């Protein structure tokens, strides 16, 4: 496999972030981008710029009046702008006022005990074997179960929800026969999107008839401009929720656990000193930023790094490149540094469109790491020196196809620890 840095063409000032080698090892790609083409063109997509330096990325995220999140910047099967992600200020703020309180730290904290029970319940399912696929047996079911409980959605239908999510986020991996067929991939996204809209239409009708204590029931009580939200507005919130709730924590766990499975020194340190886990959570979010990039549309003429961008141009804002920029994070930007004194990463974005679920994600990651290192402290990749394992990562949102590990078998606890 080629080096990810090979997919930056310094002479042409262009880049291809979608090659599999970039997803597998993005740091060299990010470095080449920042050094050789800090504002590059996306290969094969004239009029699409790629930002990579920390200051430029943060500027773009914090200035939606220049770099808009409007719907045409991203087609993921939706019929209307996703709320609030694809709605710019000032309307964006109106929706965040309804949504944010229900995902605030004071709302998330009481869920910690149940989240910890869930992690241990999942670990109980494989700890006696001494081997497992952490992706399939922990990274996928763990955040999915937390999300479905939050939304009051049927746990029995989780495979359906995950199928919709994968058809939208990474259809080329779920349907490899469609790889390279852009029309077919787009059709797959829209078909899954239509099924999601149908599902949420039924869910919203049910909540209107019989509200509960889940977040969608609470949203029904919220108002925008003094009026209750319409079914369409709630549908557009639900569409975004299911993608974010079922994918990004899984991706972060995958990348973090894969890194730790290959770093025995760091594993030993965390097993001996769990108090370092919150720092590791932030370092993993920074170094392995799961959502590698977000898209924006230029609304006003702007110039960055000597490159002029015109209204209507698209911009790929490389969060992962910003989060490994030595200009912000110093000489250890490309590695885990538990002694880092400042970590202003943008894994959750920045500015008005900062991630809705960041508080919940941090709690999920911290508790998962605490219980993994309490119960599987010596986990490592299930590979041999003669046959090293080559993990397969999806581009765009980095998730592994499988994460086989081995560890010293342990007892089933049965009580959630």
Is the pLDDT at 17 greater than 70? The verdict is yes
pLDDT at 416 (0 to 100): 46
| pLDDT bucket at 340, cuts 50 / 70 / 90 | very high
- Taking only the tens place, the pLDDT of each residue in 363-403 is 999 999 999 999 999 999 999 888 889 999 998 899 999 99
- What is the per-residue pLDDT for 1? 52
pLDDT of residue 370: 97
292 vs 173, residue with greater confidence: 292
Is the pLDDT reported for residue 15 higher than 90? yes
pTM listed for this prediction = 0.94
Segment 250-266 mean pLDDT: 96
Structural domain includes residue 413:
no
What per-residue confidence (pLDDT) applies to 386?
A: 86
Query: Tell me, what's the pLDDT at 71?
Result: 60
- pLDDT, one tens digit per residue, over 204-237 is 999 999 999 999 999 988 899 999 999 999 999 9
On whether residue 368 sits in a domain, the answer given is yes
The number of distinct structural domains making up the chain is: 1
Is pLDDT above 50 for 417? Answer: no
Question: Is residue 46 in some structural domain?
Answer: yes
User: Which domain CATH number covers 104?
Assistant: 1.10.630.10
Predicted confidence (pLDDT) per residue in 342-360, tens digit: 999 999 999 999 999 999 9
Could you tell me if residue 247 is inside a domain? Answer: yes
- Calculated CA dihedral for residues 266, 363, 330, 262, nearest 10 degrees: 30
**Residue 414 falls within a domain, yes or no?**
no
Give pLDDT tens digits for 268-300.
Answer: 999 899 999 999 999 999 999 999 999 999 999
Output the pLDDT for position 37.
96
Q: Is residue 417 part of a domain?
A: no
Could you report the per-residue pLDDT of 77-86, keeping only the tens digit for each? 898 888 998 9
Average pLDDT over residues 148-171: 91
What is the reported pLDDT for 73? 62
The residue range of the domain holding 86 is 4-406
Residue 8's Cβ-side half-sphere holds a number of Cα atoms within 13 Å equal to 25
- Does residue 74 have a pLDDT over 80? no
- Let me know if residue 385 belongs to a domain: yes
Average pLDDT, the chain: 93
């Amino acid at each position: 496999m080629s080096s990810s840095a090979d997919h930056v063409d310094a002479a042409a000032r262009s880049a291809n972030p979608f090659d599999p080698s970039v997803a597998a090892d993005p740091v060299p790609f990010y470095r080449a981008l920042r050094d050789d083409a800090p504002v590059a063109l996306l290969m094969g997509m004239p009029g699409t710029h790629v930002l990579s330096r920390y200051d430029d990325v943060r500027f773009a995220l914090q200035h939606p009046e220049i770099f808009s999140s409007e719907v045409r910047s991203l087609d993921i099967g939706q019929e209307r702008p996703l709320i609030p992600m694809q709605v710019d200020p000032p309307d964006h703020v109106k929706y965040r006022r309804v949504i944010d309180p229900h995902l605030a730290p004071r709302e998330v904290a009481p869920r910690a005990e149940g989240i910890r029970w869930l992690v241990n319940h999942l670990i109980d399912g494989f700890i006696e074997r001494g081997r497992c696929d952490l992706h399939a047996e922990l990274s996928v079911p763990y955040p999915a179960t937390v999300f479905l409980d939050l939304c009051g959605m049927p746990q029995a239908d989780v495979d359906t929800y995950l199928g919709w999510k994968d058809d939208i986020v990474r259809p080329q991996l779920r349907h490899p026969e469609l790889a390279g067929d852009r029309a077919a991939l787009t059709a797959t996204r829209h078909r899954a999107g239509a099924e999601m809209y149908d599902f949420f239409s039924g869910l919203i009708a049910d909540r209107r008839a019989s509200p509960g204590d889940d977040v969608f029931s609470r949203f029904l009580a919220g108002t925008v401009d003094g009026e209750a939200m319409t079914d369409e507005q709630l549908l557009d919130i639900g569409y975004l929720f299911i993608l974010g709730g079922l994918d990004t924590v899984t991706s972060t766990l995958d990348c973090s656990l894969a890194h730790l499975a290959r770093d025995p020194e760091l594993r030993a340190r965390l097993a001996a000193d769990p108090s370092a886990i919150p720092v590791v959570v932030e370092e993993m979010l920074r170094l392995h930023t799961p959502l590698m990039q977000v898209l924006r549309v230029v609304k006003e003429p702007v110039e960055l790094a000597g490159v002029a961008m015109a209204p209507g141009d698209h911009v790929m804002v490389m969060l992962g490149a910003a989060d490994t920029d030595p200009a912000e994070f110093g000489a250890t930007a490309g590695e885990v540094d538990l002694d880092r004194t400042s970590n202003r990463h943008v894994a959750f974005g920045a500015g008005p469109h900062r991630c809705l679920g960041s508080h919940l994600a941090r709690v999920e990651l911290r508790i998962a790491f605490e219980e993994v290192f309490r119960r599987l402290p010596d986990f490592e990749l299930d590979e041999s020196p003669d046959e090293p394992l080559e993990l397969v990562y999806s581009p765009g949102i980095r998730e592994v196809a499988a994460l086989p590990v081995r560890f010293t078998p342990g007892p089933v606890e049965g009580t959630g620890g």
